[in-house]
Amino acid sequence: MAILPIVEVPDARLRETCAPVDAITDEVRGIVADMFETMYDARGIGLAAIQVGIMQRIVVIDLQDRETEEEDPAPEAVRAPHAYINPAITWVSDELSTYSEGCLSIPEQYAEVTRPARCRVTWLDLAGERHEAEYDGLMATCMQHEIDHLNGVLFIDHISRLKRGMLMKKLDKLRRGG
């Protein structure tokens, strides 16, 4: 396993659409393992393959218990890792919810984003088995956020131009050491 470099804005790859995974191979399993290691190291709860420069429809999510964190971002005892190969949203609710979202590709920047409160998703697991589930709460938000990545959409695309501009200025200042 390896910690991979995270692709950050304004890298053009983040705006591309990822290709479907044709087959679940040892290479794909290795990518997933590296993605989990990278996500845990960066203290994230979700990561799309595009965020590590891999243009395939792969997502990893772990909504680990943040309150038990100490030095290790997600101690083994509370980790609940899930890999989603070729995930697709098949339904969203009319009801909306708002969460403060952040993104490993837009470091240390957060904004209130309104999305459907529930969503239904289909995917393949690492054994190639097809699954379908309905999610709500933080999991629904995280799933929509990560699948957006696979389609070249960032969370900042869901906020006003003014807020997006302010957020990007703050990011530029942070990068300059301010």
Pairing of strands 96-103, 130-136: unpaired
Give the start-to-end residue ranges of the domains of the chain: 12-175
Q: Which CATH class is domain 12-175?
A: alpha beta
Q: Which DSSP string corresponds to 96-121?
A: EEEEEEEETTEEEEEEEEEEESEEEE
Distance CA 137, CA 142 (A): 9
| 146 is an active site residue | yes
Instruction: Find residue 130's DSSP bridge partners.
Output: 124
Catalytic residue among 27, 101, 108, 146: 146
pLDDT tens for the chain, 178 residues long, are 899 999 999 999 999 999 999 999 999 999 999 999 999 999 999 999 999 999 999 999 999 755 444 555 445 546 789 999 999 999 999 999 999 999 999 999 999 999 999 999 999 999 999 999 999 999 999 999 999 999 999 999 999 999 999 999 999 999 998 6
Distance CA 43, CA 54 (A): 20
The pTM assigned to this predicted structure is 0.91
Identify the residue whose tokens are 């690492």.
126
